[in-house]
Structure 1
Amino acid sequence: MPELPEVETVRRGLRKLVQGSRITEVEIMYPKMIEGDSREFATTLRGKVLEDVDRRGKFLLLRFSDGWTVVSHLRMEGKYFVEKKGAPIRKHTHVIFNLDDGRQLRYNDVRKFGRMRLIKTGSETQLPSLKKLGPEPVAADFKVAAFYQGLQKKKKAIKPALLDQNLVTGLGNIYVDEVLWMSKIHPQTPCNHLTQADVQILHDNIIQELARAVEAGGTTIRSYTDAFQNEGGFQFELQAYQKTGQPCPRCQTPIERIVVGQRGTHFCPNCQQVK
């Protein structure tokens, strides 16, 4: 599933490729991809200009003229790319935005899990899926004191707590495994067992690791590509995720895999011990 670095990379690519383009027609081959009335979705966007592309957590926010926004979640394998009109349509292409310069912005999704919703700009904060999101993982928004207080109120394991998007947004399975390894925190450690020193280190590693992953263009494990159809490069920097049996880069103990919160989880049993 694309996590914050991958979605941010897609956002930057879309800005370069299609910002300022006018929609002439929207073709929807799989109506269930659209939350709400798919015909209204297509009709409303006809003639609108894509003015900007924003992001909140793992959600893309496509900003159109006349105060309309498409909230798009890529889910497991959704991806956007641009083709010339008339180019062969790839299998699993479900939505096509025809542009006024003869190009097409195409949405492709092998598993059909991705979703789009058309709303009035500014109302996105009232959507349940966005309303619950915690701060963005940047120093200006993500404060260590509030993070520590939030963790102290939770008895659940730290890994699922980071995955639920309430304490901080944007982390998925890959980057949670990585930041917990970096911070020497076992993924099953109860949140309220973490000390202020633990939380400070975790907080700083979350900010730094996600920033590094964004600069590398994200992580490609299976099928992720950006809007230019390029793979990410951060998979070569991973230290724990999917490294089962390989030596820990710190202590050489073999990395182990367990299941935490129904998610495959990778950690070092020597460096990361339950508190």
Structure 2
Amino acid sequence: MPELPEVETIVRGLRNHLIGFTINSIDLQRKDLRFPIPKSLNKSLNGKKIIDIVRRGKYIIINNEDKQTILLHLGMTGRIKIRPINTKKVKHDHIIIKLNSNQEIVFNDSRRFGMVDYIDKIDYRNHKWIKFLGPEPLGSLFSDNYITTYLSKSKSPIKNVLLNQKFVAGIGNIYACEALYLAGVSPNRIANSISRNRSKKLALAIKQVLNKAIELGGCSIKDYVQASGEIGYFQQELNVYGKYGKKCTLCICNSSIKKIKQSGRSTFFCSKKQT
């Protein structure tokens, strides 16, 4: 699933192709993805100029001049593509937004776990998918005090807490594993046992990993590509994710990377470096 760095990279790549341009039509190739696609999407947004595109957690938010919003989540395998208008469709092209720039923005999703919704003249921050999200990990609200206070009340393993979007928005399995490794914190450690000092180190590690991943265009392990079609390159910087059995790179423990299951997801870590 695309995580914060991948979605941020896509949003940045779309800005020059969307902002200031008008939607001529929206071609829906099916009625639903994970949920039904709003029937009013095409009729309501045609002829409207796009004025902004932002990210919140793993969501893409496209706003127009009429205070209407397209809310999009890529799901497991979703891709956004930019191409010349009326390009031949390929399999799994589900939503095609045609612009007055002679380009079209295409949402392609092979597994159809993506989500799209239309919001009319209501602040998107109050939408049911958005309103319960925690702070942005690269924002000022994700502070030392916030982290320490939240963790002190949790009896869950810290890896599970990092994946809880109510705690922090946008972090997924890859970046949780990598941040915990850099911070030297075991994924099994119970959250309320983490000291304030270690919480600060973890916060710094999260920001470091995410910023580096954004700089490199995200992580292309399976389906993800940037809106331009280019792959991301952060997979070349991974220390533990997907490295089961390989030597730990950042310490002299002579140990190998371990793999366990937590809440149905694979966790990769070094049992010597991370305590």
TM range (shorter): over 0.9
Which amino acid is the alignment partner of residue 150 of structure 1? Y
CA contact (8 A) 1:63 1:121 kept: no
> Which of 159-168 and 136-145 deviates more?
136-145
Q: 2:258 aligns with which of 241, 252, 256?
A: 256
Aligned to 1:8: 8
Which amino acid is the alignment partner of residue 211 of structure 2? A
- State the shift of 1:35 in Å: 5.2
Question: d(CA) in 1 for partners of 2:169 and 2:227?
Answer: 22
- State the shift of 1:267 in Å: 0.5
> Which of 27-36 and 216-225 deviates more?
27-36
Question: d(CA) in 2 for partners of 1:9 and 1:220?
Answer: 12
- State the shift of 1:121 in Å: 4.8
3-state SS of paired residue (1:265): strand
Aligned to 2:195: 195
Could you report, residue by residue, the CA deviation over 1:46-90 in whole angstroms, capped at 9, with x for unpaired residues?
Answer: 111111111111111011121101111011111111111232211
- State the shift of 1:264 in Å: 0.5
Equivalent pairs, count:
273
CA contact (8 A) 1:28 1:38 kept: no
Aligned to 2:100: 100
Question: d(CA) in 1 for partners of 2:192 and 2:34?
Answer: 40
Which amino acid is the alignment partner of residue 138 of structure 2? V
- RMSD over aligned Cα atoms: 1.4
CA contact (8 A) 2:38 2:118 kept: no
Q: Which runs of 5+ in 2 are unaligned?
A: none
- State the shift of 1:129 in Å: 2.2
Question: d(CA) in 1 for partners of 2:156 and 2:6?
Answer: 27
How high is the sequence identity, in percent, across the aligned residues?
34
Question: d(CA) in 2 for partners of 1:34 and 1:265?
Answer: 26
CA, structure 1 residues 121+12, in 2 after alignment: closer, same or farther (shift >3 Å)? farther
Aligned to 1:123: 123
3-state SS of paired residue (1:128): coil
CA contact (8 A) 2:2 2:74 kept: yes
Aligned to 2:52: 52
Question: d(CA) in 1 for partners of 2:146 and 2:114?
Answer: 32
TM-score (ref. length: structure 2):
0.95
- State the shift of 1:102 in Å: 2.2
Question: d(CA) in 2 for partners of 1:113 and 1:154?
Answer: 30
3-state SS of paired residue (2:142): coil
- State the shift of 1:128 in Å: 2.6
3-state SS of paired residue (1:137): coil
Q: Does 1:65 align with 2:65?
A: yes
Question: d(CA) in 2 for partners of 1:141 and 1:40?
Answer: 35
- State the shift of 1:33 in Å: 3.0
Which amino acid is the alignment partner of residue 269 of structure 1? S
TM-score (ref. length: structure 1):
0.95
- State the shift of 1:214 in Å: 0.6
- State the shift of 1:142 in Å: 1.3
CA contact (8 A) 2:82 2:104 kept: yes
Which amino acid is the alignment partner of residue 156 of structure 1? S
Aligned to 1:204: 204
Aligned to 1:272: 274
Which amino acid is the alignment partner of residue 266 of structure 1? F
CA contact (8 A) 2:10 2:227 kept: yes
- State the shift of 1:140 in Å: 2.1
Q: Show the 5 A alignment for 1:153-168.
A: 153-168=153-168
Question: d(CA) in 2 for partners of 1:121 and 1:258?
Answer: 46
Could you report, residue by residue, the CA deviation over 1:106-148 in whole angstroms, capped at 9, with x for unpaired residues?
Answer: 1111111111111035522222321111111125231111111
CA contact (8 A) 1:124 1:130 kept: yes
Q: Which runs of 5+ in 1 are unaligned?
A: none
Question: d(CA) in 1 for partners of 2:57 and 2:241?
Answer: 21
